[in-house]
Structure 1
Amino acid sequence: MKKWAYLLSGIVIGAVISTSGSALAAQVKSLIGKQVTGEYTVIVNSVTLADKGAIIDSRANIPVRAFADAIGAEVKVTGKTINVTTNAGSKETTTPVDPNTVNIFIGKDKQSLEASKKLLEDEMLPPIIKDRAALADEIDKLKKSGSTEGLKKKEDQLASYDAQIEKFNNELKQVEAALKALQK
């Protein structure tokens, strides 16, 4: 009888240990094996990153190296730890850099620059230009009909499209200048 009691208690203890291990593993969050459910363009300080962000498990994930480069931070990888350091902790005061005067694409590799150029030319500019043209037509129709309902809001939206187009065109010029600098 004692043998059966030992056997039964061994089975119970084994079951408890095996289920507690899987419960502990369920608490550890990992992205390994998770499905990417979306992809987004990442814009930092009015500059579009060449690498896209991803939505994994309903959370936004951005490319650390590209993001750190955009904000002027340093990235160090040690083992499975990524350490991002900015100048915010230093005693030196830095002035913000205007992305229209400093070419942030200088120093990037050719493949990254070509990907940025393709992204701007094929994915960023065309839909905004198309939407801007449709909105401009709509504003013209409203003005011809004499209706002022919603006109101010549409004109503000048109100005926003113009600003985005100008920003993307400036980035495209910077990418092309960086590509020319690589060819020298």
Structure 2
Amino acid sequence: MATPDEVHITVGTVRYQAHGRERKGVCSVHFAERIKPGDIVPIYLKKNPNFKFPMKQDIPVIMIGPGTGIAPFRAYLQEREELGMTGKTWLFFGDQHRSSDFLYEEEIEEWLENGNLTRVDLAFSRDQEHKEYVQHRIMEESERFNEWIEQGAAIYICGDEKCMAKDVHQAIKDVLVKERHISQKKLRRYCVK
């Protein structure tokens, strides 16, 4: 572990309007506005046995995590750096605005420079007229994305399950159809939820 005596969390504050009233996420607002440095917060950790990164250096890793979905990928990249691991890593990250929402920008740039991260593709949805998301970047890089899959890449998606994950899953299917010229029926062999 890069920081064995610390726990790092990535929290996006939930705020929205409903029925003419401002609503706030109970936990996210508590973390963002009420907890001060040095406060003790009881936590419960729950392992996810299905979310394990490969520790073999010859397996390329594709990480797709917009917004706070970047959190497990940051931890993985920190651990890789600490262990001196090599091997190909590709991060797809995005949010609304690059100037205010590019989480861990300095770390990502450093990892690109030192080779801990092979490539990064970014999508900031509100920085131009038409919205652009990580799934658009996947399609733009479909040939290279397919090459990584052919090399046995492990693909991880973390973030909004309702919209983003479904759209990314569809983009990956579209890459396979486009680059491998395979039928929808054969897609079942490649795609596991």
TM-score above 0.5: no
Sort the TM-score into its range (normalised by shorter chain): under 0.3
TM-score between the two structures when normalised by the length of structure 1:
0.21
TM-score between the two structures when normalised by the length of structure 2:
0.21
Higher RCO, 1 vs 2 (CA within 8 Å, ≥6 residues apart) = 2
| Higher helix fraction (1 or 2) | 1
Bigger Rg, structure 1 or 2: 1
